Structure 1
Amino acid sequence: MSPGYLPFKDALDLPAFFCENCGFWQRHFTRPDSCPLCIDSRHVMPQRGWHFHTVEEARDRYPCHWAEVEPGVWRFFNDPIDGIGSSGYLIQTAAGNLAFEGCGVYSEDALALIATLGGVQVLAASHPHSYGAIWQLQDRFDPELALHPGDLSWSGALCVSWPFDDVLEPLPGLSLHLTAGHFDGHTVLYDRGRHILFCGDCLKFELDPADARRATTISAHKAFVRGIPLTPAELRRYRDVFAALDFTQTWTPFEQAANSGRREALTLIDTMMATRPHAYPVPLETL
């Protein structure tokens, strides 16, 4: 599907290796010596050194599961999983399917299921922490890959065919919006028909142990694992994007919060902008 020109396409035939510490995949001619995402200031170094797995090894270690969380919206995840452990979402529409984010590794059964659901016409992700194994979806289904150029330096395992600026609607009713902040190219996906914002790492939730769809707290971070807050200007950019989107649910790569939408996100941001940014979880009942 890509209109791009690939004079060095054989580079994408190199084997891929999974970082056990963060879940980032690299294409390399041999097992890598280190992982750029672990070294980055938004993550942490492995305490016992790096360990990398081939796709076959990762599939053996990390079973892939799936569930239709809402009609036409599928979640793919690994349990157990090392690394960040993000979910991958498949959103079905009458015009085609969009896969957003990626789980750690897709099994052959998971890929076969995706094929029966119509495959993948468009592929996107919010930022490198949740790329997961989207390279498997690109290798199998040859979709358009829409990523913001701000994160191109992290996309060496992929072929970006559809870079965009601030907003892109790759399928009717599904739009990508640049927020920056957490990463320079951090992007959210808005499902207009279902009123769901797939927010990447813009927001984070803690969930009710008795109800996995009910969030109890909300927070925002520059770096979650390091507890670094966003700046006022970064929060203002988030607010501008969120205010224009009518969403009643907010899904991260880890949580599918059905009880937190635009109102809660804007109230959190307004509170921090009126005082000072922080990275603490705020109880939703106080907003």
Structure 2
Amino acid sequence: MTCHICTACGTQFEESTEPPSACPVCEDDRQFVPPSGQAWTNMAEISSNHEIKWIEEAKGIHSLQISPNFGIGQRAFLIEGPGGNILWDCLSVVDETSREKIDALGGLAAIAISHPHFYSSMMEWSEAFGEVPVYVHADDGEWVQRSGPALTRWTGEKLELNRATLIRCGGHFAGSSVLYCPWLEDGRGALFTGDTMQVTLDRKYVSFMRSFPNLIPLNARAVKAIGEAVHPYRFEAIYGGFSGRTIKRDGSCVIERSVARYISAIEDPSASQA
């Protein structure tokens, strides 16, 4: 029996003798099945020629990314916290080096996931650290491909978690969430966004999409709701879901002006021609 992993999106499935007939995550219009077709692997095969690259992004913030890139290529974060360490978002591989580093930093108190594209091998990570609880929003429960007793489907608009706050924003997925950590950046706060909002390449704005690879935008109502969900929180830094996608200053103001710019662009045709 094998827990097969989709090579396109990196999602791990329940144990089975044969690979799944399809990957629902990839067949959804927010993701895609590659032109070469659906393919499957497993953790042992990935581990044979990949490793997890660690970067200390700031005090108490470590990014983790599979190298060379695998699946979607996202980064996860090990966040050191006064209420216990949190793994934000997840990867398809758990390696011994990462286990040792996390144990040396005090272990894990919780795993929290922004949205289904980054579920990856979340239950495998939980098992590696003693069935640590995994938090996904209940609105996205249909996308879970491997479950277990540690999985917690949280509900509502926010959840206090080890002195951090999980905030449901919606948009990209119904349960798309961000993580607010007020103690980071020397007490000025940090927001971890996954794909709920993505830092642009100029590092001056964030933007919003239903599908990033298929270029499907969100409507104005959805983007306003995202802005409103995070408006009560003040933070200096924004950490997006991919390498280098970080804004280090005035994060709260960045999101406010990003919402305004996006809505202007989609509601006023002249804005895109200026």
- After TM superposition, the score normalised by the length of structure 2 is 0.87
Within the alignment, does 1:197 sit opposite 2:191 as a pair? Answer: yes
- AA aligned opposite 1:33: S
Q: Which residue of 2 aligns with 1:186?
A: 176
Q: 1:40 aligned to 28, 34, 52, which one? A: 28
Q: Which residue of 2 aligns with 1:276?
A: 266
Within the alignment, does 1:143 sit opposite 2:159 as a pair? Answer: no
Q: Which residue of 1 aligns with 2:50?
A: 62
Q: Which residue of 1 aligns with 2:157?
A: 166
Name the SS of the counterpart of 2:10 in structure 1. coil
- AA aligned opposite 1:145: V
Q: 1:64 to 1:272 in 2, by over 3 A?
A: closer
Distance 1:230 1:73 in 2: 30
Deviations 1:141-177 (A, max 9, x none): 21122221011112231332352311111112x1000
**Cα contact 1:146–1:164 (8 A) shared by 2:** no
Which stretches in structure 1 are left out of the alignment for 5+ residues? 1-13, 209-214, 283-287
Q: Which residue of 1 aligns with 2:225?
A: 237
Within the alignment, does 1:256 sit opposite 2:209 as a pair? Answer: no
Distance 2:31 2:9 in 1: 8
Q: Which residue of 1 aligns with 2:2?
A: 15
Identity within the alignment, %: 24
Which stretches in structure 2 are left out of the alignment for 5+ residues? none
**Cα contact 2:237–2:248 (8 A) shared by 1:** yes
Q: How many residues align?
A: 259
Q: 1:72 aligned to 60, 64, 68, which one? A: 60
Q: 1:100 to 1:158 in 2, by over 3 A?
A: farther
Q: 1:217 to 1:181 in 2, by over 3 A?
A: closer
Distance 1:47 1:28 in 2: 26
Name the SS of the counterpart of 2:13 in structure 1. strand
The offset of 1:260, in angstroms, is: 5.7
Q: Once superposed, what is the RMSD of the aligned Cα atoms?
A: 2.0
Name the SS of the counterpart of 1:276 in structure 2. helix
Name the SS of the counterpart of 1:93 in structure 2. coil
- After TM superposition, the score normalised by the length of structure 1 is 0.84
The offset of 1:61, in angstroms, is: 2.9
Q: 2:13 aligned to 16, 22, 26, which one? A: 26
Deviations 1:78-103 (A, max 9, x none): 11123201111111122211111012
The offset of 1:275, in angstroms, is: 4.9
- AA aligned opposite 1:155: V
Distance 2:141 2:167 in 1: 16
- AA aligned opposite 2:181: D
The offset of 1:226, in angstroms, is: 1.1
Distance 1:182 1:175 in 2: 19
**Cα contact 1:87–1:104 (8 A) shared by 2:** no
The offset of 1:205, in angstroms, is: 2.7
The offset of 1:56, in angstroms, is: 0.3
Distance 1:37 1:162 in 2: 18
Q: Which residue of 2 aligns with 1:93?
A: 81
